[in-house]
Structure 1
């Protein structure tokens, strides 16, 4: 019997070995080992290797969609041959447990015992972080070819989704790096962004999902598979360590289920432990790095809002050998870095080996705790549904602050009533952290159980709001994130208000409730400082981002259960704004600038040769013609816009014509410029890209009517600083082909600014956003920085961070709705503010104030320390310069293609 068993095992091992031999190793395919110094693989080579790996009975290659540059984006599914035959079954179990509906706890436990852990591992999102793509190749190969007990156990219990996050970027970066014959002269200083439009911000697009790659990935994560763990590989490790990994520093978002936080801790411990067991030092965590779990929108962070364990590592290394630098304070073992690494030379293969070990740690953990992971994602979903089905209060910092304020007030009033006036000040400030038990429970009930502070049960998005097409775009962002959405099939009434058919209802009693809350409710970032009275701790990314606010979506927040004639949309379904028809007019037609898609229609009309005019109220007037009717018929069908008949022409109308538009950019690529370029294409504007050398050459007015400068283009008026390029030094002109040489350079005070001034004086227009509003200071216009104060020497200096600090947040600004620049805007509107410029206009000037802060409390979502300094500050203005005009918008009005409510502040200015 034993002989037969051994013979069988030998046969199985022989079969596995034979199969492994039919699939080439990376060296056999690429011509080098993954991790060899000075060697990188192109995407073309990698794609071919994926297809060879898919010949294994442990693997299946899935095309998940096309990239922005038209390449296929692939995901390789790896598991045991037995599991591979039942992928649809295990996918269904994963989805059913994640949605957590129609199951009892016992049924969920049974499914968890039957199912397989689903783990997502990606690489290459940031293409110059080449460890990510190459560890993906190496790990795939090892899991497809190895037959050791650990690998076999992983394959038995896990289904691994290996996803390439940025095919276009890998092709660009590798071809650029490998173009240099001398290996030691190879460099990563690529000429443009490694994602066609947004470069590094491809990891800032995972609740909006504008880019095709984001849409492809999100469909697999939130609609198709809903894995229990996702692992997002990145680099750059913190100086003095090899990598940063989980668990992460505070704050974490208040809407998470506690199981998210503790699960990240558990998997992070497994990762750290494995490296330590293998003698691989240099793992840092928590306060040892900048990474937190507060922000939504990243490939690793958005999963938290879907009850997934999101993992991020940032590791050092690359094909060009480097050095682990000496950072003395990181040499002492502590909770952040329990096993420090010594300064040393570091090679690419070391980073690959670390990454494979980390992958195996995660996969081993998932195999060991398979049923627990599956059940826990169900448990978090059930918890979310229960919170949405009942009265529930989220403990936001503002409510906790209210407890402290109420307690202090009562204490002060009590002392004053007792006649102990001398002790009022001291006693009123007696409450400090650690003495919470001295406060009566009534304060908890009065504040945190106040009915007005309850979480919403549902959000209703009325179909009769003016810019409903933009509201539909918001719904599609939710749908791509796997949110349960209902649509009214008939009119219905809630709390005395009637809503039309076609309105959308998003209930919070669903598994992904944290994401729903996060997209509709303001974020309340805690005050976070290094020490009392010290500088602020910078958030990893944004502090506030509420998408419904950014997009200007009108919705009603409902505190009680909602029912009605609703039908649930299929998960992931993309909606179109309702197609309209319009009556043929003998006179003409009107389009409202309050609807963003109207600008697409206008641009299409102009390209079709139809005449378009602008009325004094901002409406577009289109005289009746066959060209106009044909173009508008197409627009109302595709864009969901409403076309109204005009009763007649107007004497105050002005003809509209397209401008010759240029968007500034630079060598290496500007991310904000990339976003604006993408936005212009979405709204059918034509544009050209302009670099500093062309600006310095002059004669700009002959070629352009409008030049757009995004944040980061125009330097301040102080001493020039060294250019801070992410990926190394700029190449020398002689190292570049003729195509790229004109991209070198930057805007300078001595050569560029005089040419821009000449352009303006000759009738050109310049539109500046964010820090590029510095142009106003270069031109010596009568404006000053509103966020300064005098120091002890009487010098004006920027407000210190301990007094004033506003990272990326949403503030409510006031707008002059009579100004032509603001046509279609509301009198109050949220703007994305990221330490943005704020101005003071000097008396007697000809500057037109377009946007300002009328109160000292404009914060709507995020964190605004010292926001009182904003009161009466000007956020945007326009001013004539010669016969031209300068527009200055301090807030990021085109922010990451998300801030739809402020897009028209740019669009309004883009016509002659």
Structure 2
């Protein structure tokens, strides 16, 4: 064999063994999709994307495909690891280095510096989370192609220097949105008016699930980010940019969360400069930042914000662009260069490909930055983790607005009228607050195993574990101070790299008072102001501020927990399941589906609260099966309880509408998790009437109510597409609730014995029924019209408040005397004089200081206001819960308020 033939033979042998070809042989996207990425009026489905990426993986030695799980609809979810062939051969080593640096455990600075030089930075780039934001998905396809096909110096340097993780983070949504858009033969008739949510349950809220991880998709993503790969940069693509700009990007406006390491904020600044500079160098104007957009770094729970609490640089851009061309509008204030928008864009027709090109530039700017600063990124994530561990091991005071306010108030109190505006406050005022032992950060938290709803506490622990938090479990009973704790209790210490996330899940958020100007309207937070998960879930824990230890075993990262199995004791009189335990409802629903008789108590019985479930002894075998499955305790009783209520599954209707309601979608998911059967109903189903023949309970969660003409801004009314825009198969979902047709049918349903449960904005139905209640947060203007309090007087964006609960009322079975509720400028009621005997308050605000976590401006206005009530209407009953008692599948502490109304 001559030399040339030998080389050819070896090359063919290489292809046969590896299945890879040289980069220049990679097929362009058009050869697979039938159009170039970014062509107007063209979208690719997820099925097409998946096949293209699989094809390229077989051809390229720059790609490894990793399946990370199945979506809620059963599609495969991936990450595609892209780097040089040499790096991919050592991928496990680079992954190990990234983990070590992020966790910073038992690692000296000298060792970390060596690892930083040896390792490669990991950069996560995603797209498609919000499926109607089609730029994100399609820039991912183009970025994938460019990375595996280009051979220029920049691309080679990036591949040599960076581990790149690409991920389509909502496969189901892309398949639905693209298939829907492309079904129209006439391109100019293509639209995105999809009939349902683009994530099976929660649509847009799939970017609100990243500290809870209720959804499969977010669970898979979190595992890759916080347990497996620990990327130093997470780039989350979104749209849409503010009007008159092309995109909004970093750096972001204030406030930022006070638990962050400062390297997070300055790290964002460094990446942001690289992004902005690249666009300007390429003559791509329209980047706005800081006050130019609404985005901040305050909130936890998003794909790019939760990384901040894990010492990762989270990047969000919101860009314009759609497959259907659009116009960049004339916004005069956007045309003048300033610090927010140094390089304004001018009005023009905007095409899809322009957004793809911008996105490519932004991706390469970040990858270039990572390649040039890789050792710095790796060392800084170590340094932030090390700082967190050290803070958790010593006394530390987080600088919070309430502490700064108390310093100023103490000085003002002492000085009185003599205080001068420019006074320098003496240091001892600072030390009286920020050296006060009572205000120290926690060294750790103990979640006792003997709390009544321990299965829910275990779900909270699992949310932490999914977030990469280090958890310990007590192997035996132990004491801290004077308190004794049982074996099986969970311990979460703050001496760990992800300390910021731990604090954020246990501690109240302290959002600063933020107004456009003194006495002016409030600046709306980006999403929530307060969200403390332990409060939302009703988890009992002890906050420990001194060093402590015990017989604790370390739980392996990512190892989810199950509540302990409870064995039934022998009993001749039956068993009680605690009404305070959420999964008692799951167990009961399983029993009811087996035609087992279940009863509820009407009073406290053998230490169990009113509303607890009674099951006869003869059903003990099946009872043991279900309580073991959910970790629920069934208590043997000495005598059969008196005055029992026999319960049966209710015929439940859950209201939804065309396009999908996110709050309703969350409840759909909750009902499935707790094994309640239900049926979705739409406005036309309501208007058909004869509702009580079909249903016992109708749930209205969130919006969809007709507007109230007597109260301005009372309810968001839905605009439905026309029949011509929607295929016949979806016509049954069209329509809106109306005052003339829908309200009378609902009133008849109540009078005939039905039950209506309303939550959030849906409680406006009380006014349509002309119940004797009024808005507690409204005032009369000079014309006698009812007007809600203005924002400069009262403003509570999504936060956690404490309410008083009447535990004697049947709808409150299993609740404690006080509860933490999610309040988002929620409906609050006052009973009119004529309704004092008719309306039964369930929850109310009994003090003028009810803020638990977040921001509550003017909270004193709530004192005496009713948060929830019920009343009878004919033979039926109406329930109104103003707070978000099902909030995003997080508010386990108030789920019972919904569940109690679902039996007949």
Same fold (TM over 0.5): yes
Q: How does 1:650-689 map to 2 (within 5 A)?
A: 650-689=641-680
Check the 8 A contact 1:210/1:897 in 2, yes or no.
yes
Name the counterpart of 2:741.
751
Give how far 1:717 is off. 1.5
Name the counterpart of 2:700.
709
Give how far 1:696 is off. 1.1
1:118-154 CA-partner distances (Å, limit 9, x unpaired): 0000000001101111100100110000000000000
Name the counterpart of 1:773.
763
Q: Structure 2 CA distance, aligned partners of 1:762 and 1:724?
A: 29
Q: Structure 1 CA distance, aligned partners of 2:779 and 2:617?
A: 59
Greater displacement, 710-719 / 349-358: 710-719
Q: Structure 1 CA distance, aligned partners of 2:217 and 2:615?
A: 41
2:855 counterpart of 1:869: no
Q: Structure 2 CA distance, aligned partners of 1:821 and 1:261?
A: 46
Q: How does 1:369-380 map to 2 (within 5 A)?
A: 369-380=373-384
**Which residue among 12, 16, 27 is the counterpart of 1:24?**
27
Q: Structure 2 CA distance, aligned partners of 1:874 and 1:669?
A: 30
| Residues 191/725 of structure 1: CA separation in 2 closer, same or farther (3 Å cut) | farther
Give how far 1:54 is off. 1.3
Name the counterpart of 2:441.
455
2:35 counterpart of 1:44: no
Q: How does 1:697-736 map to 2 (within 5 A)?
A: 697-718=688-709, 730-736=720-726
| Residues 308/623 of structure 1: CA separation in 2 closer, same or farther (3 Å cut) | closer
Check the 8 A contact 1:894/1:902 in 2, yes or no.
yes
2:118 counterpart of 1:114: yes
Name the counterpart of 1:389.
393
Give how far 1:50 is off. 1.3
Secondary structure of the residue aligned to 2:289 is: strand
Q: Structure 1 CA distance, aligned partners of 2:409 and 2:612?
A: 52
Check the 8 A contact 2:370/2:377 in 1, yes or no.
yes
Check the 8 A contact 1:587/1:623 in 2, yes or no.
no
Q: Structure 2 CA distance, aligned partners of 1:739 and 1:902?
A: 37
Q: TM-score, normalised by structure 2?
A: 0.96
Secondary structure of the residue aligned to 1:908 is: helix
Give how far 1:724 is off. 7.1
Name the counterpart of 2:878.
886
Q: How does 1:776-795 map to 2 (within 5 A)?
A: 776-795=766-785
**Which residue among 534, 538, 547 is the counterpart of 2:520?**
534
**Which residue among 22, 32, 36 is the counterpart of 1:33?**
36
Q: Structure 2 CA distance, aligned partners of 1:795 and 1:129?
A: 41
Secondary structure of the residue aligned to 1:127 is: coil
Check the 8 A contact 1:662/1:689 in 2, yes or no.
yes
Q: How does 1:754-903 map to 2 (within 5 A)?
A: 754-843=744-833, 844-903=836-895
Name the counterpart of 1:417.
none
Gaps in structure 1 of 5+ consecutive residues: 1-6, 413-423
Q: TM-score, normalised by structure 1?
A: 0.95
Check the 8 A contact 1:393/1:453 in 2, yes or no.
yes
Q: Structure 2 CA distance, aligned partners of 1:278 and 1:220?
A: 33
Q: Structure 2 CA distance, aligned partners of 1:152 and 1:722?
A: 57
Name the counterpart of 2:3.
none
Check the 8 A contact 1:467/1:595 in 2, yes or no.
yes
| Residues 17/781 of structure 1: CA separation in 2 closer, same or farther (3 Å cut) | closer
Q: How does 1:94-109 map to 2 (within 5 A)?
A: 94-109=98-113
Secondary structure of the residue aligned to 2:729 is: coil
Name the counterpart of 2:606.
none
2:396 counterpart of 1:404: no
Q: Structure 2 CA distance, aligned partners of 1:609 and 1:269?
A: 65
Name the counterpart of 1:420.
none
Q: How does 1:162-561 map to 2 (within 5 A)?
A: 162-412=166-416, 424=417, 427-428=418-419, 430-431=420-421, 435=422, 438-561=424-547
1:168-192 CA-partner distances (Å, limit 9, x unpaired): 0000001100000000100001000
Give how far 1:802 is off. 0.3
| Residues 623/211 of structure 1: CA separation in 2 closer, same or farther (3 Å cut) | closer
Q: Structure 1 CA distance, aligned partners of 2:584 and 2:97?
A: 44
Secondary structure of the residue aligned to 2:901 is: coil
Q: Structure 2 CA distance, aligned partners of 1:222 and 1:707?
A: 40
Taking only aligned residues, the RMSD between alpha carbons, in angstroms, comes to: 1.8
Give how far 1:620 is off. 3.8
1:316-364 CA-partner distances (Å, limit 9, x unpaired): 0011011111111000000000000000000000000000000000000
| Residues 211/698 of structure 1: CA separation in 2 closer, same or farther (3 Å cut) | same
Q: Structure 2 CA distance, aligned partners of 1:856 and 1:648?
A: 44
Secondary structure of the residue aligned to 1:51 is: helix
Name the counterpart of 2:140.
136
| Residues 651/564 of structure 1: CA separation in 2 closer, same or farther (3 Å cut) | closer
Give how far 1:586 is off. 2.9
Q: Structure 1 CA distance, aligned partners of 2:704 and 2:244?
A: 32
Q: Structure 2 CA distance, aligned partners of 1:707 and 1:604?
A: 22
1:174-230 CA-partner distances (Å, limit 9, x unpaired): 110000000010000100000000000000000000000000000000000000000
Gaps in structure 2 of 5+ consecutive residues: 1-6, 604-609
Q: How does 1:10-21 map to 2 (within 5 A)?
A: 19-21=22-24
Give how far 1:233 is off. 0.2
Q: Structure 2 CA distance, aligned partners of 1:792 and 1:622?
A: 57
Check the 8 A contact 1:782/1:845 in 2, yes or no.
no
